[in-house]
Amino acid sequence: MTGRIGVPLVKNGLEVTVKNLISSDIHTSIWLSVKNIESSEKPFKLIPGPAIQDDLGNQYESIKVPRASEISQTILYSNSTREGTVFLKD
């Protein structure tokens, strides 16, 4: 998924917005907001893990976390919004 901070991307009835991005020498943290814009429940899955490619062609994938299985099974009820962070590594 590519886009700009604060500009919603719409796919499969979900509106995903990157709210903030903080990068350091150790890790990058991205704050996401996901909104269901349809009238039915929709699963929000992070599988396969999201990947980001920077302007130098380096690819970064999500770090596995203990709650990843819970996140992958999240159901967004009609017109609901969820927010959270994604941590990345080389």
User: Does residue 48 sit within a domain?
Assistant: yes
Dihedral of CA 90/73/78/10: which sign?
Answer: positive
| Residue 4 within any structural domain of the chain | no
Q: Quote the number of domains for the chain.
A: 1
Residue 27 lies in a domain: yes
Q: Assess if residue 1 is contained within a domain.
A: no
For the question of whether the overall pTM of this predicted structure is more than 0.85, the answer is: no
CATH number for the domain including 41? 2.60.40.1470
2 in any annotated domain: no
pLDDT of 48 strictly over 50: yes
Q: What are all long-range contacts of 10-16, with beta carbons under 8 Å and residues at least 24 apart?
A: 10/37, 12/42, 13/37, 13/38, 13/40, 13/42, 14/42, 14/44, 14/76
Asked if pLDDT for residue 42 goes beyond 50, the answer is yes
| Domain containing residue 59 | 9-89
Name the more confident of 2 and 38: 38
